[in-house]
Amino acid sequence: MISSLARSAGEVARRAGGGGRPIKRDIVQSGAREARVARLALITLFFAAGVAHAAEPGWPFYGGDEGGQRYSAAAQITPANVSGLQQAWSYSTRDLVTKGDAIRHASFEVTPILDDGRLYLCSPFDEVSALDPGTGREIWRFDPRIDPRLRYPNSFVCRGVAWWRDPKPKNGFCATRIFLATNDRRLISLDAASGKPCDGFGRGGTVPIEPAPAMIYKSEVQITSAPVVTQGLVIVGSSIDDNQRVDAPRGTVHAYDARSGGLRWSFDPIPRDAVAPNAASWTSAGAARTGAANVWAPMSVDEEHGLVFAPTTSPSPDFYGGARPGDNRYADSVVALHVQNGRVAWSFQVTHHDLWDYDVPAQPTLGVVTWQDKTVPAVIQPTKQGLVFTLDRLTGEPLIPVEERRVPRGGAPGEQLSPTEPFPLAPKPLAPTRIKPDDAWGLTWYDRGQCRNKIAAARAQGLYSPPSLRGTILYPFTGGGTNWGGLAFDAAHDTVYVNTSSMMHLVKLIPKKDLAAAEQAFPDAEISPQSGTPFAMKREVVVSPLGLPCNPPPWGMLHAIDMHDGHVKWEVPLGTTEDLMPFSQYFLGKVGVPNLGGPIATAGGLVFIGAAMDDYLRAFDAKTGTELWRGRLPAGGQATPMTYVWKGRQYVVIAAGGHEKLNTKRGDSVIAFALPR
């Protein structure tokens, strides 16, 4: 079994790619907070009195709303009745039948959206379906016919689509549109009513996105996350294969006219001239050669202030930065861009001169946060390091203070490390960051001894220990902490819900003269050339002879954080080893498992999450973290669920198709749960 857990966790990291406490708080609560609660109460009374009619809660954006809060006002399902949830309908994308062996290389990560009376979703192969929200009946389906024979480094993935209503349509056709960004780098505009391509968009409804410089193989660049649409623009990022070369394709973000498909602006996080605002944190030679710093995770939008928030990745390659001295600003950052021109409003870097693949992996979440009696529009950003940064949304300055702390020194020859890295004062790190040989974990004395030897043989000085020829422990591993599932935010209770994984990587730099020998000696290992640098790299999960992680459990957690003061309200293990090896959960206990996908929170006082390596959707009490219900899925639920109310009935929907990197059970189903009628 357990080798399956370790192997799968290694794969995920390889490419990574309403409850809370009552609103009434202590007497020290701020006046601003009380005023906001009062306003919410007045709005509620206004609608309840029938002066206006509130629509049923929907899910119109990938993250629930434009700011990615993953919160729903739906309150029909509560801790008191959630045990009665049962499957209401299911829908099959038919990929198990039509895609053959390619399904093994797919990861079903989609979160459907609900808008204008229909559910819209995409399969890992970018097929878009429109469904009846009450029955799951297919209304239309569009297939862009991507090549299933290609092997993308991040699997075949489509996390979602975007919906847009044209405020000045020329006719009924394409008055509302669905935008799809494909694995093979096409932006497609579809008529939301019929699923047919919009002829006036690009050529036949399609705009090709060509990376620069040119790719060296067809799958080097793909698009995995949903585009965002705001102020008449469709904005798209990309995913780029890691660790292949210094001069990787550029991580350019593009904005296109939502009607015509014409390019309106582009943003490259790496400065290409000396007058760029971030040029001082690079050398001109380093910036000229370096690629990536792309935006593969979902973006978010502040429509009122005209800002789009881009979570950027590390410059190429990940584990050696001697060719790119400096902090490399705008990479590994939350970058706020002005929607209309793509210019930088502000940026905040979470990792200086990244050597650990500690990029920004999740959608920046926008919410109004009350921190120590100060209420501010904020950006909440979880990271792979298990850190959560909380920033002023309009300035990028930390709302919860951040301090620069000294980190380990002594990088590889030719490396120039940052002497410090940023750490928020709250909340505490949500994943362990330091391990000693005596901390090694194992089921038997032999297992534990072997783990102890592996840790003792490596460099393990804690978070930000630089990669080395000896081999360095990265803890957390590059799959997180937090990954693309992001977090859920209940603004009424100032509570964040976020899941994390906890395992270790061993990263070893290999002199170029030894690369061929290493590839021959370790044919099944991840070894990447990092062309243009003196070193290739080898990355592996640190596991025992039994295949268990060498670090102590839990290996997967769900956390609740009170944003008033940053304390962790509760945290519980997430998931079991049940579907990795039958009955193993009975002797391993509540160890949690690595996970991919995120949580959602509801006004009914529940947190729903799949994500774990067993085939369940779970519901937790938002106040206590108690698991109240689990619904069996036909395949792995490595996706973020969504919820909505349709004709008076609340549904909770999740994609259940499994994940290539976690090696969970494959499928092609979308499952909806609801209370009995």
In contact, 674 and 668? CB cutoff 8 Å: no
In contact, 619 and 628? CB cutoff 8 Å: yes
CA atoms of 104 and 428, how far apart (whole Å): 38
**Is residue 272 classed as helix, strand or coil in its secondary structure?**
coil
Residue 392: is it exposed, middle or buried by C-beta count within 10 angstroms (0-12/13-18/19+)? middle
Phi, psi of 250 (to 5 degrees): -75, 145
For the record, the structure tokens of 384 come out as 């792979």
Radius of gyration for the alpha carbons in the chain, expressed in angstroms and rounded = 24
CA atoms of 628 and 136, how far apart (whole Å): 26
Residue identified by tokens 């801790």 is 79
Q: Is 538 left (phi over 0), alpha (psi -120 to 50) or beta?
A: beta
Which distant-in-sequence residues (6+ apart) come within 8 Å of 129 by Cβ? 91, 93, 120, 121, 122, 123, 138, 140, 141, 142
Phi, psi of 322 (to 5 degrees): -60, -25
Cα of 326 vs its chain's centroid, Å:
27
Integer CA distances (angstroms), 648 to 55, 73, 122, 527, 634, in order: 11, 13, 26, 54, 27
Which distant-in-sequence residues (6+ apart) come within 8 Å of 523 by Cβ? none
* CA nearest to 386, candidates 487, 483, 482: 482
**Is residue 486 classed as helix, strand or coil in its secondary structure?**
coil
Residue identified by tokens 């030679």 is 285
Pairing state of beta strands 333-338 and 307-311?
antiparallel
Cα torsion 252, 256, 262, 267: sign: negative
**DSSP H or E stretch at residue 451:** helix 445-457
In contact, 71 and 655? CB cutoff 8 Å: no
In contact, 509 and 318? CB cutoff 8 Å: no
* CA nearest to 414, candidates 462, 466, 459, 460: 466
DSSP conformational letter for 279: G
Phi, psi of 46 (to 5 degrees): -60, -45
Active site annotation includes 447: no
Q: What DSSP string runs through 118-160?
A: EEEEE-TT--EEEE-TTT--EEEEE-----TT---TT-B----
For the record, the structure tokens of 50 come out as 């029938």
Q: Which of 184, 332, 357, 621 is labelled catalytic?
A: 357
**Is residue 174 classed as helix, strand or coil in its secondary structure?**
coil
Write out the catalytic residue numbers. Answer: 357
